[in-house]
Amino acid sequence: MNNKEKLRKAGLRPTKQRMIIADILLDGINRHFTAENLQNEINSSGNSMSIATIYNCLKKFRNCGLIKQVESSKDTAIFDTNINQHHHFLDEETGELIDIENDEVNLRKLPKIPQGYLNNGVEVLIKIKKKI
């Protein structure tokens, strides 16, 4: 399935901006990135796009399930093209995320979900830093 079909299947109209981003992100290679990283890559490819447009496209991609947003302690949003259930190490010094396969984490008991809420998934983020 080509990227135009992937966007349509996700319910998105394949605009020029979305196609530029889809061609970079939906190539089958899992990666972590920020909107700023993506903007640099777009500019390097000879195209240009405002950071606001990039964030808008990423929000739509996230809402349609094409990418995930990984929660982190940094101010910058980090996105992930691997939408399968998995966990991460977060290098607190560099902001780099490293995937952890789902079966490598064993959670025996989760707290009771507050009334009126549903469990929408569990993702473990383990913060790491280099030994001194």
CATH number at residue 31: 1.10.10.10
Across residues 18-40, what is the average pLDDT? 94
Residue 28 lies in a domain: yes
The C-alpha atoms of residue 40 and residue 36 are separated, in whole angstroms, by: 6
* DSSP structure class, residue 101: E
Q: pTM value?
A: 0.84
- Among 70, 101, 119, the domain boundary falls at 70
pLDDT over threshold 70, residue 73: no
State whether 31 and 56 are in the same domain: yes
Reported confidence tier of residue 132, pLDDT bands at 50, 70, 90: confident
H/E stretch holding 24: helix 16-25
